[in-house]
C-alpha cells in the first residue's frame, strides 16, 4: 500500500521505527519495522507488510519492505513540501507553491526551477535555496538506495553526503575505507562491508592497512590508549579481518614507511602509535620540560599566610609560588578550592596575573563558585578571549600563574595545546583528584605527571570537619580506599537494594522525576541521573528516553525532529559533546532547546550562560540529551541531587572503583544508588586497567 508519513512516534537504537501514516482516502494507521529506518515526515512510501494487533498501539502494519516514491497527488505534494524536508519551504509557502502549480509542482522544481519566482514571496535568493535543498534531498534519497544495496543503514546517507557532497557515490564505489573517521557512525565494519561487496579482495593492502589503523584508533577512543603493543595489534587485526599475521606485518611496515604510524621500543617491548598521538606525546613532553627548566618570572616577595590554611595547604602554596610546574591533588572535602583561592589572591597581591581555567564550561563555573574568582574554559583561554573583567590579563594564556582545575579531564590533545600556549617562566598549577576517572580522550595526563619525580606535588589528606560530616564525602573516601560504604547510608548518601534491572530502571526514573522533586520541593531539572553504561535496561539511552517522554512528551501543537534514535523537542535539556569554536560552545556545557524549526532545518538553543546557538538538523550528532548521562560526561560538574542505577549488566564491564568514586562525588546534597549489592561490591573491588601511555618515560628522558 501507499501512504505518507505524518509523524515519527518512536525510533530505537537498532533503527526499529514506529510512525503514524496517512493513506490517501483512508483512515490513518500505525506502521512499524526496521525497514522504515530513515523515513521523514512528509515522505510518500510504498509499504509491504502484514496487519497485526499490538497490545499498546492496536492494529498496526508490520512493515517488511519500504520504498520511497514521489508524491503525485496535490495533498501529498503539499504535505511533502511543508514537512521541512526541503529547506526554505514551510507549510504556508508549500500551500502557495502547490496552489500555483498543482500536480506539476515537483516537475517544475526539478526541470524548470526558475518558474518558482512566479509564486509570491519567492525571489532569487529563496529560489536558489529551494533548488539547492531539493537537489540535496534527491541525492540523499539516491544514496539511501545505494546503501541499502550494501545492507548498510540508510540513516548514514545524509552524513556521507554532508562530507562528500556530489562525490559521495564515487567515494563509496572507489575508496569506502575513506569513510572511517570522516563520517560519524562509520567504522571499519561498515566500510569493510561496502568494500567487500564492491569487490575489494580480502587480502587487499588497502583493506589490511585500514584494519590496522582502525585497531589503533579504536584503542584510543574505546580505552584511552595512546599506543598498542605490537603483539596485541597484530592479534587484534588478525581477528578483525581473519588474515595471516605476516600479511598484516607487511602492511604495518608500509604504514610506517608512509609515516602514518610510529613503531618504537617502550618498557622492553615494541609498541605502535598512530602518528598523531605520537607527535602529541613527544610535543607535550618537550613543552613540559621547557616549563620545568625555565626561570620563574613570578614577582615573588614576602606575603602573609592565611592562618586558616592547614599545613599541607601551606606546602601547596609554597610549591605553586616557587615551582614553575606543580600539582595539587586530593579527595573531596580536603580544601583544594580554598587553597587555589589563597594562592591566586597571594599572586595578585604581589602584582602578578592569574588565570583560572578548567576543561569544561561546567567545571569552570563550579571553580568560580568555589573560589569566588572568575574562571574560564581552557578552550576560551587558548583562543585568547577573556571576559570583560580586570581580574583577567588581556591574554589569559600568558598570565604569571595559570591554574587548571579538574586536570584529570585533560586528554593528550588538550594538554598539548595548553602547555604549548604557556610562556616560558609562567607558573602552571594543575589541580585535580587523581582517583577520579581519566579523560574521555586518549591519555592519563594527571596520573602520568604524578609519576614524574621532577614535578613538585602536594596531596591534601586532611578532611575538614564540616566536609567530614557529609555522608557523601565519607562514602567517597571509603570507596577510594577500596572499602564498601556504610549501608544503606546516611547524611546524603543512600543505597536502595533492588535486584531486577527493569525494577532498578523504573525506581531510578521515579526518584528522579517524582519522589525527590516532591520531597525536596524542587524541579526535576535539579536531579541528575548518572549511568555507568550507555546501552542496556539501565543505560543512558533507555532511562533517558523514558524520562524525556515523562517530563517533555510529544505535543501535536509543537514541532519536533528525530535525528537517528533521538528526538529533539522545545524544552529539552541538551549538552554539546564536541567543541565548536565557530558557535563558541564547548563539550560539557548545557543548554535548553527553545525552538525546533523544520522549515529552516535547525533547532535553537539557549546555553545556561544565556548564549543563543543554532544547530542544523545535520549537526545534531554533536548534541546529547541530559535526562540521563554517563559518569564520564558528568566529570567536572556537580549537581544538587544525583540518582544512579548500579547493576551487573554486561558482566559488570563498566563497574570500576574510579567510576563509582567519580559518580558519588558529583553530588552536592544527595546521591542515591539503586541496584544490586553485588554490583556495588564489584565496583568497589575492581580497579580497572591502566592506559597505554609513554608520557612519563618521555619526560624523564628529557630531564638533565
Q: Could you tell me the pLDDT band of residue 380, with boundaries at 50, 70 and 90? A: confident
pLDDT given for residue 66 in this prediction: 93
Please tell me the distance from the alpha carbon of residue 472 to that of residue 478, in angstroms, as a whole number: 10
Q: Which residue has the higher pLDDT, 649 or 387?
A: 649
Average pLDDT over residues 414-423: 95
**Any residues with CB less than 8 A from the CB of 621 and at least 6 apart, and which?**
159, 184, 185, 563, 564
Task: Give me the long-range contacts of 471-477 (CB less than 8 A, separation at least 24).
Answer: 472/332, 472/664, 472/665, 472/667, 472/668, 472/670, 472/671, 473/331, 473/332, 473/333, 475/664, 475/671, 476/331, 476/332, 476/661, 476/664, 476/665, 477/331, 477/332, 477/333
Q: Could you tell me the pLDDT band of residue 145, with boundaries at 50, 70 and 90? A: confident
Q: Could you tell me the pLDDT band of residue 387, with boundaries at 50, 70 and 90? A: low
Residue 635 contacts residue 410 (beta carbons within 8 Å): no
Cell numbers describing residue 683: 565496583
pLDDT of residue 170 exceeding 60: yes
How many alpha carbons lie under 13 Å from residue 449 in its C-beta half-sphere?
A: 34
Domains, the chain, with CATH or none:
1-68 (2.40.50.140), 70-148 (1.10.150), 149-198 (no CATH), 205-277 (1.10.10.2220), 294-464 (3.40.50.300), 471-552+567-685 (3.40.50.300)
pLDDT given for residue 468 in this prediction: 64
Please tell me the distance from the alpha carbon of residue 224 to that of residue 443, in angstroms, as a whole number: 6
Where does 432-481 have alpha helices with state H? 445-450, 465-468, 471-480
pLDDT given for residue 653 in this prediction: 74
pLDDT given for residue 388 in this prediction: 52
Whether 333 has a binding-site annotation, put simply, is yes
φ and ψ at residue 195, rounded to 5 degrees: -65, -50
Average pLDDT over residues 567-575: 96
The predicted-structure confidence for 174-189, as pLDDT tens digits, reads as follows 999 999 989 988 999 9
Average pLDDT over residues 68-95: 88
Whether 336 has a binding-site annotation, put simply, is yes
**Percent of the chain whose predicted confidence (pLDDT) is above 70:** 98
Residue 21 contacts residue 5 (beta carbons within 8 Å): yes
- Three-state SS letters, 196-237: HHCCCCCCCHHHHHHHHHHHHHHHHHHHCCCCEEHHHHHHHH
The predicted-structure confidence for 576-600, as pLDDT tens digits, reads as follows 988 787 898 877 788 999 999 998 8
The predicted-structure confidence for 274-300, as pLDDT tens digits, reads as follows 999 999 999 999 999 999 999 999 988
The predicted-structure confidence for 545-558, as pLDDT tens digits, reads as follows 999 999 999 998 89
The predicted-structure confidence for 91-116, as pLDDT tens digits, reads as follows 899 999 999 999 999 999 999 999 99
Average pLDDT over the chain reads 92
Burial of 648 (0-12, 13-18, 19+ CB in 10 A): middle
Residue whose C-alpha is closest to residue 626's, from 655, 600, 592? 592
What is this structure's pTM?
0.90
pLDDT of residue 688 exceeding 90: no
Average pLDDT over residues 247-273: 97
Cell numbers describing residue 292: 620545568
pLDDT of residue 232 exceeding 80: yes
Estimate the crossing angle of helix 74-82 against helix 91-101, to 10 degrees.
150
Residue 88 contacts residue 126 (beta carbons within 8 Å): yes
Amino acid at each position: 500500500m501507499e501512504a505518507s508519513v505524518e509523524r515519527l512516534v518512536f525510533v530505537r537504537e537498532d533503527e526499529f521505527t514506529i510512525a503514524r501514516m496517512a493513506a490517501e482516502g483512508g483512515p490513518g494507521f500505525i506502521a512499524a519495522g526496521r525497514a522504515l529506518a530513515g523515513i521523514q515526515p512528509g515522505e510518500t512510501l510504498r509499504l509491504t507488510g502484514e496487519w497485526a494487533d499490538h497490545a499498546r498501539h492496536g492494529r498496526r502494519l508490520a512493515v517488511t519492505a519500504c520504498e520511497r516514491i514521489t508524491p503525485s497527488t496535490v495533498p501529498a505534494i503539499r504535505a511533502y513540501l511543508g514537512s521541512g524536508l526541503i529547506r526554505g519551504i514551510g507549510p504556508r509557502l508549500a500551500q502557495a507553491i502547490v496552489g500555483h502549480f498543482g500536480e506539476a509542482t515537483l516537475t517544475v522544481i526539478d526541470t524548470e526551477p526558475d518558474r518558482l519566482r512566479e509564486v509570491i514571496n519567492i525571489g532569487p535568493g529563496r529560489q536558489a535555496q529551494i533548488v539547492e535543498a531539493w537537489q540535496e534531498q534527491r541525492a540523499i534519497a539516491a544514496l539511501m538506495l545505494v546503501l541499502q544495496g550494501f545492507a548498510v543503514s540508510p540513516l548514514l546517507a545524509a552524513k556521507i553526503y554532508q562530507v562528500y557532497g556530489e562525490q559521495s557515490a564515487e567515494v563509496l564505489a572507489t575508496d569506502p575505507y575513506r569513510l572511517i573517521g570522516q563520517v560519524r557512525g562509520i567504522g571499519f565494519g561498515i566500510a569493510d562491508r561496502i568494500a567487500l561487496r564492491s569487490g575489494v579482495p580480502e587480502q587487499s593492502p588497502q583493506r589490511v592497512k585500514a584494519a590496522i589503523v582502525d585497531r589503533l584508533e579504536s584503542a584510543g577512543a574505546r580505552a584511552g590508549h595512546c599506543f598498542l603493543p605490537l603483539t596485541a595489534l597484530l592479534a587484534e587485526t588478525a581477528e578483525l579481518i581473519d588474515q595471516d599475521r605476516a600479511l598484516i606485518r607487511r602492511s604495518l611496515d608500509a604504514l610506517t614507511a608512509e609515516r602514518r604510524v610510529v613503531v618504537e621500543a617502550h618498557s622492553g617491548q615494541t609498541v605502535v602509535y598512530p602518528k598523531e598521538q605520537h607527535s602529541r606525546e613527544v610535543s607535550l613532553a618537550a613543552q613540559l620540560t621547557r616549563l620545568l627548566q625555565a626561570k620563574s618570572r613570578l614577582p615573588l616577595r614576602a606575603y602573609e599566610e592565611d592562618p586558616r590554611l592547614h599545613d599541607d595547604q601551606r606546602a601547596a602554596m609554597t610549591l605553586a609560588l616557587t615551582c614553575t610546574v606543580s600539582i595539587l591533588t586530593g579527595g573531596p572535602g580536603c580544601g583544594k578550592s580554598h587553597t587555589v583561592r589563597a594562592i591566586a589572591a597571594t599572586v595578585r597581591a604581589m602584582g602578578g596575573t592569574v588565570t583560572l581555567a578548567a576543561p569544561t564550561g561546567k567545571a569552570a563555573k563550579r571553580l568560580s563558585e568555589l573560589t569566588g574568582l572568575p574562571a574560564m574554559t581552557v578552550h576560551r583561554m587558548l583562543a585568547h578571549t577573556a571576559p570583560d573583567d580586570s581580574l583577567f590579563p588581556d591574554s589569559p594564556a600568558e598570565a604569571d600563574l595559570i591554574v587548571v582545575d579538574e586536570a584529570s579531564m585533560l586528554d593528550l590533545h588538550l594538554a598539548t595545546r595548553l602547555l604549548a600556549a604557556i610562556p616560558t617562566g609562567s607558573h602552571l598549577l594543575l589541580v585535580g583528584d587523581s582517583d577520579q576517572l581519566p579523560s574521555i580522550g586518549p591519555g592519563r595526563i594527571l596520573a602520568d605527571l604524578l609519576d614524574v619525580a621532577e614535578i613538585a606535588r602536594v596531596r591534601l589528606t586532611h578532611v575538614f570537619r564540616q566536609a567530614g560530616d557529609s555522608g557523601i564525602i565519607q562514602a567517597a573516601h571509603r570507596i577510594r580506599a577500596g572499602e564498601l560504604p556504610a549501608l544503606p547510608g546516611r547524611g546524603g548518601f543512600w543505597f536502595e537494594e533492588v535486584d531486577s534491572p527493569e525494577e532498578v530502571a523504573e525506581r531510578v526514573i521515579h526518584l528522579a522525576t517524582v519522589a525527590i522533586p516532591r520531597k525536596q520541593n524542587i524541579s526535576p531539572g535539579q536531579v541528575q541521573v548518572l549511568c555507568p553504561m550507555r546501552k542496556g535496561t539501565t543505560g543512558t539511552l533507555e532511562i533517558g528516553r523514558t524520562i524525556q517522554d515523562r517530563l517533555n512528551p510529544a505535543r501535536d501543537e509543537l514541532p519536533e525532529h528525530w535525528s537517528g534514535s533521538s528526538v529533539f523537542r522545545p524544552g529539552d535539556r541538551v549538552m554539546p559533546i564536541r567543541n565548536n569554536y565557530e558557535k563558541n560552545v564547548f563539550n560539557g556545557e548545557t543548554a535548553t532547546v527553545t525552538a525546533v524549526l523544520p522549515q529552516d532545518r535547525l533547532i535553537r538553543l539557549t546555553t545556561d550562560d544565556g548564549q543563543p546557538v543554532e544547530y542544523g538538523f545535520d549537526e545534531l550528532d554533536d548534541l546529547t540529551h541530559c535526562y540521563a548521562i554517563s559518569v564520564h560526561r558528568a566529570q567536572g560538574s556537580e549537581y544538587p541531587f544525583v540518582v544512579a542505577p548500579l547493576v551487573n549488566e554486561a558482566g559488570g564491564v563498566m563497574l570500576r572503583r574510579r567510576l563509582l568514586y567519580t559518580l558519588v562525588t558529583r553530588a552536592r546534597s544527595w546521591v542515591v544508588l539503586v541496584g544490586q549489592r553485588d554490583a556495588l561490591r564489584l565496583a568497589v573491588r575492581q580497579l580497572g586497567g591502566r592506559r597505554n601511555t609513554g608520557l612519563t618515560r618521555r619526560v624523564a628522558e628529557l630531564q638533565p
